[in-house]
Structure 1
Amino acid sequence: MTKMTCHCGQIEVRIFKQPDHINECNCTLCNKTGARWSYFHPSDVRVDGVTTGYCRQDKDDPGAEVHFCPGCGSTTHFNLTASAISRFGNSLMGVNMWLADEAYLAGMELRYPDGRAWSGEGEFGHVRGARVIGRTDVLG
């Protein structure tokens, strides 16, 4: 179990599973909320504290509601919206890994999906090769 907090400590996020990887997406939402996402089943995450949610206004049917601390403004996590849950089930939650201690992140794969160019269908392209946090080389 790993415990993370927002900057002011009002929100605590616990993850009960090691993430498979971390995504640093370049889409406007991820970029402007300052998030590096890892994805989990909601049962593998516990959020304590009251957050404020935001759904992007530039999409007719946004798939995620991003949450942040009302005190310090740190982005903490996202949940799928009701319409996304109806399509895919309640199977995915994102946690902002910028909240994690740097030592915890060492050795994890950091990927760079091209969210700006993604159509919303199929797999992401990537803007550059992945790297392992704590190393300087780029993976294949």
Structure 2
Amino acid sequence: MLRGSCHCGAVSFEFREKPEWLTECNCSACRRFGTVWAHGSPENVTVEQKPDASFTYSWGDKSLKFHTCKTCGGTTHWTSVDPDGDKMAVNTRMVPAQDVKDIRVRHFDGADTWRYLD
């Protein structure tokens, strides 16, 4: 299980899967947010937050909503715009480093080819 939160703690999550790998994407949003994602099923993720603690941002094809804390600015996770979406991701930069240090990081070219680079 991975547990994380934004810097101020207003938004926290539990990711109840062992990710096979983490994804660092170079698209314009992920690069600017500084994220490293653990992807999984929404059924295996719990997000807790104070009321109105975060805002969402969508861009491009608007299929994802990036969730960011209103107080400290940390982007904690993304969800699918489709309510039946079967994927989401948590930002492992919000997880203690020792909890993810042994998980392989794959680099995804979201800026151009839409493929993993390894």
Q: SS of the counterpart of 2:25?
A: coil
RMSD of aligned alpha carbons: 1.4
Residue 58 of structure 2 corresponds to residue 55 of structure 1: yes
Q: Choose which of 106, 111, 117 in structure 2 pairs with 1:111.
A: 106
The residue number in structure 1 matching 2:78 is: 78
Indicate the percent of aligned positions where both proteins have the same amino acid.
27
TM-score, with length taken from structure 1:
0.76
Higher strand share: 2
1:73-105 CA distance string (max 9 Å, x none): 0000000113xx5xxx42100110101111111
Q: How does 1:13-92 map to 2 (within 5 A)?
A: 13-49=13-49, 50-56=53-59, 59=60, 61-82=61-82, 89-92=84-87
Amino acid at match of 1:55: S
Aligned partners of 2:4 and 2:96 also within 8 Å: yes
Q: How does 1:123-134 map to 2 (within 5 A)?
A: 124-126=115-117, 129=118
How many residue pairs align between the two structures? 115
Structure 2 runs not aligned, ≥5 long: none
Q: Choose which of 91, 97, 101 in structure 1 pairs with 2:96.
A: 101
Q: Distance in 2 between matches of 1:13 and 1:101?
A: 12
Amino acid at match of 1:36: V
1:12-51 CA distance string (max 9 Å, x none): 1111111121111111011112211110100111111132
Q: Distance in 1 between matches of 2:94 and 2:104?
A: 16
Q: CA deviation at 1:63?
A: 1.5
Deviation beyond 6 Å, 4+ runs, structure 1: none
Aligned partners of 2:106 and 2:116 also within 8 Å: no
- When Rg is computed on C-alpha atoms for both structures, the one with the higher figure is 1
Q: CA deviation at 1:8?
A: 0.6
Structure 1 runs not aligned, ≥5 long: 130-140
Amino acid at match of 2:112: A
